[in-house]
Structure 1
């Protein structure tokens, strides 16, 4: 079941530097995730958590810092620190509407950066980022070219704001029409199956002069729920 695409609709429902080589992405062995049982209580808890994370992302300009707080609050790693792991490879083409969204001409250079944002062994988000280098400082461009520092931390001196274009729940723990069902299953030994990506945000970042300088598409993974559900803790 898909949600309404607009972030405003979501906000009504409920008030994402060390340098690593590309090969390390494949060497990363995720820790076994705690078991979420496929029962009504776990499904309701998972939905509430996804809506809470979505609301946090919508209400703060930096997805990186939001994920760092989320990691710390849910003890996903010994240290709540987000590391951006660069994904090297072919650049994705700029989306057709992006030049209008970034308010740039047909010949304005745009750079592409893809990263995985990880906290400990958990990859929480995969982000595609198209940005206008002429609207960043020389130091920022150098840092983006030569390090794995998260984009949001690099451009923090711009005191940027974030305009959400869409916020979409890619997976709902509750089946469609659950509210009309006589009852949900109360208990089962089965494990709740989760897809790789559970939430997607599209946003444009603006500097203090209200100039757009970045288009981001962030795909949040089910690893954001890689902790023991509260209802099943001893």
Structure 2
């Protein structure tokens, strides 16, 4: 996909829905429960791609629940500090970098920075990663990999810290609930069946994961 088209799609995908979430305590509770549910689902499955695909289908974010990776080309990001030790590779071992947006329909659900060791993948996997927009998790699925989460950070909480003890909730404003662009971030290592690390990924989940009409979700 050409860069101008990608930027156009990104702008469209990040446009907020027409006020689906009202800024009141009930909506904030629902939003927090959904983010915690997504976080738990991501932590309990090795493939973020397949988890997002299920999320997209369950919450009807698009007519077809299919995740597509839009590659963002440009300067490679350097390996984070300590990444070579985490990947168990020497200083001269080649590492490739891939940055993508994971999109369902017209919604950008996450942006991922991925550093991987090509020598630990098959030639066909490396060709797909170099020349296609297939999501990383789907390309390497044959490895039957496992995922070790290094960190999981909620970047936005709809409710203030300590609300469950104080019982004090934000007052309703009657306006649309302002959801920031980035809501959740995971950092993880992927391992082969032989317990060999082959990828370090940083995934940042966007407000797109909540871009649906919430009326069909009701708390007891």
**TM-score higher than 0.5:** yes
- What is the TM-score of this pair, normalised by structure 2? 0.93
Q: Does 1:108 align with 2:127?
A: no
| Matching residue of 1:154 | 139
Q: Does 1:221 align with 2:202?
A: no
User: Any residues of structure 2 matched to 1:34-113 within 5 Å, and which?
Assistant: 34-113=19-98
- For the Cα contact (< 8 Å) 2:96–2:116, is it kept in 1? yes
Distance 1:141 1:178, change over 3 A: same
SS class of match (2:208): helix
SS class of match (1:60): coil
- Aligned mates of 1:231, 1:79 — CA distance in 2: 19
**C-alpha displacement of 1:180:** 4.3
**C-alpha displacement of 1:232:** 8.0
Unaligned regions of 5+ residues in structure 2, if any? none
Distance 1:104 1:185, change over 3 A: closer
Q: Deviations over 1:93-136 (max 9, x none)?
A: 00011001000000000000000000001000000000000000
**C-alpha displacement of 1:230:** 3.1
- Alignment length, in residue pairs? 214
| Matching residue of 2:4 | 23
- For the Cα contact (< 8 Å) 1:22–1:85, is it kept in 2? no
- What is the TM-score of this pair, normalised by structure 1? 0.87
Unaligned regions of 5+ residues in structure 1, if any? 1-19
SS class of match (1:91): coil
- Aligned mates of 2:193, 2:83 — CA distance in 1: 20
- For the Cα contact (< 8 Å) 1:109–1:133, is it kept in 2? yes
- Aligned mates of 1:32, 1:221 — CA distance in 2: 11
**C-alpha displacement of 1:181:** 3.9
Q: Deviations over 1:43-91 (max 9, x none)?
A: 0000000000000000000000000000000000000000000001100
**C-alpha displacement of 1:194:** 1.1
Q: CA RMSD in A?
A: 1.6
User: Any residues of structure 2 matched to 1:194-233 within 5 Å, and which?
Assistant: 194-230=179-215
SS class of match (1:45): helix
- For the Cα contact (< 8 Å) 2:159–2:170, is it kept in 1? no
SS class of match (1:172): coil
User: Any residues of structure 2 matched to 1:137-148 within 5 Å, and which?
Assistant: 137-148=122-133
- For the Cα contact (< 8 Å) 2:159–2:169, is it kept in 1? no
Q: Deviations over 1:127-151 (max 9, x none)?
A: 0000000000000000100000000
